[in-house]
Structure 1
């Protein structure tokens, strides 16, 4: 195992465009870090620089404190798991897993090879498939073979390049759980690239959000969700995405196209004196006011809105509310949509309601908003005006402590 340190890493191609621009990340020994962002944000390029498949234009890459910029990939002792598995179709599962040890001629005896292959196969539930060829395996089984090959190398770190993108949704969920449990058990430093934020949020100890080659924020999934640093992180993390409602703060009142919302004192203070702000309200910050008792109603604000339509999902339902956008924020929202690989950010609220709510499309409903959790953003700079950096850091520190406890439990079992 090893720590990985990226110091002001830059990657420029022949045309001078920085695919990765001044990225600095400290990855602890045994930590699982996710690189996430839309297509073209530089996440795969960054991973390829760590493993040595791309040259570093500027900056330093350290593995366990040693500079490795000029080292060849094989000298870095990093195991890569690719999107397409990179298995040898003519070799059995056994020989595919054993391949890295066969390459190190004379380093491993046949007994050592056999022990390591069978231990990895048992870990990955591949014992019954060792004599089969990759072409006769399912996608999930092939992915496990690729992981087995990484395990037997005793590598300093595992690097995953969108390993689950070829699998169907159900199998992706299963493999996510397997990768997470395996990483906790092995305690091996891991860097994982994905464009799927569900993978990022469920797998990572910390998640690094990239946009156009620049690091926006690196933190625990919970800190990213609850204390995003800017509009891009707030909009990219979470499904359905955070709603951005234009408004003006007057006293403790946020005046919006959907009516007035009473803010907490601290939130209102952050928006004072600004011509316009964007209120970030996640879908689950809403409830059907008709389903709530008075004690909870008093802890938020209620607006009346006409629902365009609803979607019932069994355990919950989504309601949609259209509104007239403010032209002063139209450009900022369009730019945000392009940065997130979306065609546009529609001028509608997405509201998550309890499945028992009886509201329907075409009706006017009273919607309760948990105003304690609203964020205000500057549409010009994207800055989160209400971010509590101290509370966010505490969330990430707690996640770090929980990871260490999980690894200790796994090592004892």
Structure 2
């Protein structure tokens, strides 16, 4: 195991394209870090720089405190797991897993040692019954486990994953996510994982590093990113359905602060509204789950929010919940800002529509005015020009990430104790 440190890492290609810009990232020994961002954000380039497949233009890369900028990939003791598995079709599962060990056979590894390492990895990955089969006769999930087995037997300092589940169907991706997470906890191996998948990023990582056009935006636990995003880009990229953004202006009415928005006037706590003072327009960020049908809000929650009336354009009923959509007409300036944000998020467009998550019991209907309740204690206000989250609580966010780190340590200890007990 080892820590990985990136100090002011830059990557500029020969044609002048600046792919990675001054990235600083400390990955702790045994930590699981996710690199995520839209297409072209630089996440795969950064991973390839760590493993040594891309040169570093500037900055310093340290593995366990040792500078490795000029070190060849084979000298970094890192194991890479690719999305296409990179298995040898003519070799059995056993020989595919043993392959990296055979390459280093000259370093005194005996057949007995190789056999033990292969069978130990097969046991961990539940591949014991498939060791004599060829990769072409395995399912996608089994092939991915073979690729991981090859990484395990090397006893590498860190695992690097390049979108390893992108070729699997949705059901199998869910299963493999759980297997990778449990395996990483049992082995406590430092892991860096590239994905564009929201669910993988939010469920797998101890921390998630969000990239935009080669620039690191925020590094934090999934929960901190979701609840305390640093800026407009992170808020819009993390979460599915994504955060709603509404242009609002702040005014006082009857002794309270009100946000005037395209879907109605929403009273908000004074401490929130004051963050937007001096700005003509700000973006209000609302997660879909911040909304509820006003008729179904429990009494103890009502003081934390405000009611307003809106007309849903259509509903999507999903069984356990339903999505209600409210369309609005932005002014030209706001439409331009939404278009710029859409490009940053790698989306065709950000439609002027608000998505609300309503209980399955809600009787709201499209085309009929509906009383909605919104939790105003959880809203975010963003500067539309700089993207800064004006209402971010940095201390609360740091506490969320600290708790995640503590939970990781406990999970590793429990997983290793369970593994030791199964061997006894």
Q: Taking structure 2 as the reference length, what is the TM-score of the superposition?
A: 0.96
Q: Deviations over 1:253-286 (max 9, x none)?
A: 1111111111112111101121000000000000
2:105 is paired with a residue whose SS is: coil
* 1:143 corresponding residue in structure 2: 144
Q: Which residue of 1 aligns with 2:421?
A: none
The reply to whether residue 307 of structure 1 matches residue 308 of structure 2 is no
Question: Which residue of 2 is the match for residue 407 of structure 1?
Answer: 412
Cα distance in 2 between the residues matched to 1:292 and 1:375: 21
TM-fit CA distance, 1:290: 1.1
Do the aligned residues in 2 keep the contact of 1:31 with 1:205 (CA within 8 Å)? Answer: yes
Q: Equivalent residue for 2:57?
A: 57
1:362 to 363, 367, 378: 367
- 1:294 Cα deviation from its structure 2 partner: 3.6
Q: CA-to-partner distance for each residue in 1:154-189, whole Å, 9 max, x for gaps?
A: 000000000000000000000000000000010000
Assess if the C-alpha contact under 8 Å between 1:246 and 1:326 holds in 2: no
Match of 1:268 among 259, 270, 273: 273
Q: Does 1:230 align with 2:235?
A: no
TM-score, normalised on structure 1?
0.99
1:354-383 deviation line (CA, Å, top 9, x unaligned): 111111212211110000000000101111
Are the aligned partners of 1:37 and 1:211 in contact in 2 as well (CA < 8 Å)? yes
**What are the residue-to-residue correspondences of 1:148-159 with 2, within 5 Å?**
148-159=149-160
The whole-number CA distance in structure 1 between the counterparts of 2:203 and 2:177 is: 8
Deviation at 1:241, TM superposition (A): 0.4
Q: Does 1:87 align with 2:87?
A: yes
Q: Residue 200 of structure 1: CA displacement?
A: 0.4
Q: Aligned with 1:99: secondary structure?
A: helix
Alpha-carbon deviations, 1:8-49, whole Å to 9, x = none?
Answer: 100000121211111010000000000000101000000000
1:342 alignment partner in structure 2 = 347
Structure 2: unaligned runs, 5 residues or longer: 419-424
In the alignment, the residues of structure 2 paired with residue 293 and residue 354 of structure 1 have an alpha-carbon distance, to the nearest angstrom, of 12
SS in 2 for 1:191: strand
CA deviation profile, 1:307-351 (whole Å, cap 9, x unmatched): 100000011100000111133322221111011111110111000
For the residues of structure 1 that align with 2:204 and 2:148, how far apart are their CA atoms? 16
Moved more, 291-300 or 267-276: 291-300
Matches for 1:108-257 after TM superposition, within 5 Å: 108-251=109-252, 252-257=257-262
Show structure 1 runs of 5+ residues with no match.
none
